Amino acid sequence: MRKILAIVAGVAAGFAIVFMGDATTHTLSPWPGGMDPSNRDEMRAYIESIPMYVLVIMVIFWLGSSLLGAMLAARINRRDWKNTALITGGILFATAILNLALLPHPAWMWIAAVVGYLPAALLGGWLVRAKSVPLP
């Protein structure tokens, strides 16, 4: 039960961080007036117009969500910190892949998500593990 609670808390924290990232990036690069978000072509044009630094900020929030969500989960369930952190990061990664598949993101953002989510989660768990646990 503790592991499930830890994962739910970590995923919720991760979602909150991604939400803050979305709010930040939409503040830095607001949607054009009259844009229909359900229109894939309009979304593609909008995403292509977003400055690179704003997309980098979003990726930082994505990977930060995995790191911090896994930190919280592993802190709650220190005995099984590695599995708890990786499951939390895996759920957040799966939602990121869904987001990437539904919206037309640049290829480098796909690569950053695929390469970064689980290592960020593992690092987050390792940072708060019980100190008697050896390095992974």
Asked, for residue 37, whether it belongs to a domain, the answer is no
pLDDT tens-digit readout, 80-99: 999 999 999 999 999 999 99
Q: CA angle at residue 51 from 66 to 29, to 5 degrees?
A: 80
Give the mean pLDDT of 111-132: 91
- Which of 44-53, 85-94, 110-119 is least confident? 44-53
Domain count, the chain: 1
The verdict on residue 87 lying in a domain is yes
Q: What are phi and psi of 33, to 5 degrees?
A: -60, 135
Identify the CA nearest to 88 among candidates 32, 1, 6, 2. 6
Q: How does the average pLDDT of the chain come out, rounded?
A: 91
Which pLDDT value is given to residue 42?
Answer: 86
Residues 15-34: what's their mean pLDDT?
A: 92
Nearest to 65 by CA among 96, 36, 37: 96
In a domain, 106, yes or no: yes
Q: Which domain does 81 fall in, by range? A: 2-29+48-128
- According to the model, what pLDDT value does residue 27 have? 93
